[in-house]
Amino acid sequence: MTKPLIAAKYAIVGAGIHGLSTAWHLAAGLRASGRGSGADVVIVDKTGIGAGASGIACGVIRNNYFQPAMRELMAHSVGVWDSDPEAFSYHPVGYMQISHEGMHADVASIHEQQQAIGYRSTFVEGEAASAAYMRGVFDDWQARGITSVLHEHRGGYANNMASLKGLWAKAEAEGVRLVTGVVQRGFERDASGAVTAVVTDQGAIACEQVIVATGPWVQSQWAMLDLPAATGVLGADGKLHETPTWTYWALQEGTLEVDPGYLTDNDGNLPPVVHIDTDAPLHDEAGLVTEGPWGIYYKPDFNFGGVQGGYMPYRVEKPGHEVAVDPYGPDSPDFVVGADFHRTWAAALAFCHKRFEGKAHLMSTEPSGGIGSFTPDSFPVFDTFAENVYFIADSNHGYKMIGVGALVAKELLGEPQPLLEPFRYSRYARGELHPVSNSPFPWS
């Protein structure tokens, strides 16, 4: 047995949004039920709070999902964000999905189902009505080919590291312990296969339950438990088709270095987060940029110091990339931002707003984005493996889902959560995949 480092009933691997949220809610649940305290919970991270994906997240909070299960899960998470905006550095400015005709039916369905669950939103249909609605928000709006606007009146964005520190403050107040600067090397298991300790380079953390919340590094813990590298997905032909369990996409994000106050609404206030998907050709001063379809999301952000957002991701095809390169380390920028990203994103902002014309030279060259680890259907897996290892595999939906930790904590305390049931791993063998929309983004 590896030398002991520390012991805890619950060991959480990863100090990002899911690890911190789960620790806070689990500790509070233990205290409230009289079954323990925060001292029974330890978080272990190789670097520290927010050192990975959560710490560089764009921070957008939305319920714009074509998939009913995701929509209900996000409504729950937005409720958690709303519960303490100050602690979570959360700005509830709303969110706008602005779309071309190819997505009209999908977005109409999203609005209808948002109304069914009591999630406030306004849906505008038709090219003229959509343009008028948008000019009522931004008087310089000039995007073409838009036939619908879904304006979510809840949601918005949060400042990533500030929100993580707020979560940690809540967990720390409950007595949760944090161990940083240790690298996980594996698991110790008993004869039944259950994990008895998390093995690190500085010793073993003895535990009764493990929660894996490592975001894009989830494949590491998956491999440590000898779980399958390929997953059988039941197809329409009634046969199982072997699909890679994990694929990797580069998330392209950046910042236009203008005063964040440069992007306000017609009343001088911070506007909703804007997401536009269109099939209109995109041009800049040098000519055609892309023929479409394409999409971007953006918002003014004082944390990033400008107008910040992102563009469509691209799949990382290089064999072994996920193992050979730290997704957020010094070797990652070439994989994170495509060669044409800065040009495309600046042109797209100008396509939407006259105020951004001629501003491409203000695009920051700082590396941004990251690597996302995606499941076979690009939606999360929340499930238990090896008897006592609970995986929070967010499939890049992570940061916005602050409420998942509350649901996982309840499940760990013996209370199954219907909101998590559609995300079990067994759905693949049953062929019960989440519906696919016409969005160019794999997570929508």
Nearest to 152 by CA among 320, 420, 400: 400
Identical fold, 1-91+156-228+378-426 and 95-153+247-374? no
- Pair of tokens at residue 256: 């236009």
Structure pTM? 0.93
- pLDDT for 2 equals 62
Host H or E run for residue 187: strand 184-189
Are 43 and 176 contacting, i.e. CB atoms less than 8 angstroms apart? yes
Q: How many CA atoms lie within 13 A of 161 on its CB side?
A: 9
pLDDT score at 322 = 42
Q: Which residues pair with 284 in a beta bridge?
A: 287
Looking from the CA of 200 toward its CB, the CA atoms found within 13 Å total: 24
Cα Dmax for the chain: 70
Extract the tokens encoding 83: 């519960």
What pLDDT, in 10s, does the model give residues 57-86?
889 999 988 889 999 999 999 999 999 999
Q: Which residues of the chain have pLDDT under 70?
A: 1-3, 317-339, 367-368, 437-444
In single-letter form, the type of residue at position 204 comes to: A
**Count of alpha carbons within 13 angstroms of residue 335, beta-carbon side:** 23
Distance CA 291, CA 310 (A): 18
SS3 130: helix
The structural domains of the chain, with segments of one domain joined by +, span 1-91+156-228+378-426, 95-153+247-374
3 state SS of 127 = helix
Measure the CA–CA gap between 209 and 412, rounded to whole angstroms.
Answer: 9
**∠ CA 14-377-80, rounded to 5°:** 50
User: Cα separation of 427 and 41, whole Å?
Assistant: 30
Could you give the count of Cα atoms lying within 13 Å of 327 in the half-sphere of its Cβ?
A: 27
Write the pLDDT tens digit of every residue in 109-126: 999 999 999 999 999 999
**Tokens, residue 109:** 């369905």
Per residue in 130-154, pLDDT (tens digit) is 999 999 999 999 999 999 999 999 9
Query: Would you tell me which CATH number, out of the four given (3.10.129.10, 2.130.10.10, 3.50.50.60, 3.40.50.300), belongs to the domain 1-91+156-228+378-426?
Result: 3.50.50.60
The rounded distance, in Å, linking the Cα atoms of 277 and 369 is: 19
CATH of segment(s) 95-153+247-374: 3.30.9.10
- As given in the structure block, the two tokens for residue 416 are 């199954």
H helices of 93-202, where? 104-116, 127-137, 160-173
Distance CA 387, CA 375 (A): 21
